[in-house]
Amino acid sequence: MTINQEPLKVGSGGPDPEAYVKAQRSPQFQELRKRYRGFSFPMTVAFLVWYFAFVLMSVFAPAWMGQPVWGNVNRGIVFGLLQFVSTALITWLYVRHANKKLDPLATEIREELEGTN
Amino acid sequence: MNATAGSPLVNMAIFLAFVAITMVIVIRASRQNKTAADYYTGGRSFTGGQNGTAIAGDYLSAASFLGITGAIALTGFDGFLYSIGFLVAWLVALLLVAELLRNTGKFTMADVLAFRMRQRPVRMAAAISTLAVSFFYLLAQMAGAGGLVSLLMGVTGNVGQSLTIAVVGILMIVYVLVGGMKGTTWVQIIKAVLLIAGAALMTMWVFSKYGFSLSDLMGAAAGNSPLGEKLLAPGAKYGVNTLSKVDFISLSMALVLGTAGLPHVLMRFYTVPTSKEARKSVVWAISLIGLFYLFSLVLGFGAAALVGSDVIKAAPGGANSAAPLLAYELGGTLLLGFISAVAFATILAVVAGLTITASASFAHDVYNNYIKRGQVSADDEVKVARIAAVVIGVFAIVGGILAKDQNIAFLVALAFAVAASANLPTILYSLFWKGFTTRGALWSIYGGLISSITLILFSPVVSGKPIPEGATKSPSMLQGVDFHWFPLDNPGLISIPLAFFLGWLGSVTDPTKSDAVKFAEMEVRSLTGAGAEKATVAH
């Protein structure tokens, strides 16, 4: 795959500005951006909604949250612990996504730009 | 249990041992410190695991370690609610900020914010915001040191406490001058390991007393609390009235959006060689911080059950003494000495990280890029950074002594509110919005900074809280005056959306449109790592 036929590297200061513009327009980069934003943006919205739902429930529905589920452990504690679980889950999903879908493409574009292959 | 817990001599000895050991490591680690990249970023040669541990060491400040355990002990569920905001906030750093920042910046937050803007005005704005956030945070830690010594070291009275703050400040200056970022990072790593190991030990100990049943532990905590069953449900602290509820929502916003805008946290991402290591750093940080907050849930309820809220409230540090008192209850003098030393090490590690961040921003952004227009050599820039570190250290000592009776939580909340209002909107727009311009950046930074500080100045935190029954002082900072007109303690609910709005408005009204070529460079660099700063010589 090539982004561009001409040599892109200029001097030792890294790729020149024109090379970045070309790289940005390349289908490879468009795909990388789509994959990055397609995961990170909706996931950010999701965890913020989930977190603020927990905060709002705790603040405005304390009686409901205080209902025991198991012994003295109530709904509030369970939902709080679920925030830990969801944080761990999102972290794991993102790392998997980045390793599989983002890194190979990013490396390809970077090496093309820096002329290391 | 009286004013001084355990044996001040043992506490002091363990703390001195920590200082001695870390000092040797700092001196050894800093032998190869030569370049600016060494001083600011430890040569960018830390691994993700090391950096993530250091981040946890930096983030789990005295306010979270002592403050959250105390909050859970006294207000139960509401303290737990507070800790969750501090954890979830890391997802913003993971998904949106850490890797892209590592790929585009060099030493400071301003490197990223000014990347495609007019350099001088944006750098200056970013530096002012960095210095403001770091200074509020620094003041909180130093003020906390004063309260802590009276509890742990048996140092009481004005002179003794002021002297201790001065000693902490001088030690911090030495760490920063000798070790640079490399030394500071090792202090944070060692502290994080000790803190998490200590908390794990205490958690298991408490749990074993209740047959490893969270339900039994919670029952015992409620049984020994004046709040009774209310300790376990939401509302003990934030549920007083509608205003306190809205206030908590405002605080939650600042916590979740502030973390990824804290300059000393952002600077840590430059200490690793690649964006992949930056990602690993956040994963480590999230794991360690999450684990620690789970421990603090057990420790908080454990302190309520085993120590009791009357004893905690009567102790010199108030809520902050819950964790040390629980350590004394469980393991006597020795465990208390260990936890005390860790608490002190916490303050030391956090203030060192803040000082290096503030000094880097002054030397790199204000001195070199603003005053000297980028004409200063890297060596001279580091010289200025070292001088700045000493000046900032002296300011922190004086400020800490003056602020030692102030409410620490207020200063930390202020730092988070300013970071969430002035820094985060600008970072996100810079990285993701093509149309963002210099005017937009200036409006969002200054708009967020000025609005958050103004709202706090005219909030009940500073003046006008009524004196509670049975107390002699108002919880406000100033006594006997009332000029507050903003009803909330936390400004985030207003100032964060305002900064986002101003960033947008400034950009669309800017006669100079954004630089498409620079945006292309920034976007490609941020996502691919092309042209990113490389690591210098490995350790």
**pLDDT tens for chain B, residues 1 to 539:** 444 556 778 878 888 888 888 889 888 877 777 788 888 888 898 999 999 999 999 999 877 778 889 889 999 998 899 899 999 999 999 999 999 999 998 899 999 999 999 989 999 999 999 999 998 888 888 877 767 766 777 777 778 888 888 888 898 898 888 888 988 899 899 999 999 999 999 999 999 999 999 999 999 999 888 888 888 888 888 877 888 899 999 999 999 999 999 999 999 999 999 999 999 999 999 999 999 999 999 999 999 999 988 888 887 777 888 888 999 999 888 888 888 888 888 888 888 899 999 999 999 999 888 888 888 888 888 889 999 999 999 988 888 888 776 666 677 878 999 999 999 999 999 999 999 999 999 999 999 999 999 999 898 888 888 887 777 777 777 888 889 899 998 999 999 999 999 999 999 999 998 899 999 999 999 999 888 888 775 44
* Mutant choice from A10, A65, A84 vs B, greatest count of B C-beta within 10 A: A84
Maximum Cα interatomic distance, chain B, rounded to a whole number of Å: 68
**Is there a contact between A47 and B529 if contact means CB atoms under 8 Å apart?**
no
Give A76's contacts in chain B (Cβ within 8 Å). 77, 232-234
Tokens of B195: 């803190």
Cross-chain Cβ contact B531/A113 below 8 Å: yes
Chain B residues 247-276 with CB within 8 Å of chain A: 248-249, 252, 256, 276
Q: What is the ipTM of this complex?
A: 0.91
Q: For residues B394 and B51, is the Cβ–Cβ distance under 8 A?
A: no
Residue ranges per structural domain of chain B: 8-404
Give the DSSP letter string of B146-161. HHHHHHHT---SHHHH
The answer to whether the beta carbons of residues A7 and A112 sit under 8 Å apart is: no
Q: Give the Å distances, CA to CA, from B136 to B163, B363, B415.
A: 21, 19, 6
Place of tokens 């190979």: A104
Report d(CA B6, CA B224) in Å as an integer. Answer: 23
Choose the closest CB to A51 out of B78, B88, B283.
B88
Residues B312, B318: Cα–Cα separation, whole Å: 6
CA angle B401-B404-B406, nearest 5°? Answer: 135
Q: Within an 8 Å CB–CB cutoff, is residue B223 touching chain A?
A: no
CATH 1.10.1040.50 is right for the domain spanning B8-404 = no
Best interface-test mutation with B: which of A59, A111, A112 has the largest number of B CBs within 10 A? A59
Compute the distance between CA of residue B407 and CA of residue A4 in angstroms, rounded to an integer. 60
- What distance in Å separates the CA atoms of residue B345 and residue B201, rounded to the nearest whole number? 18
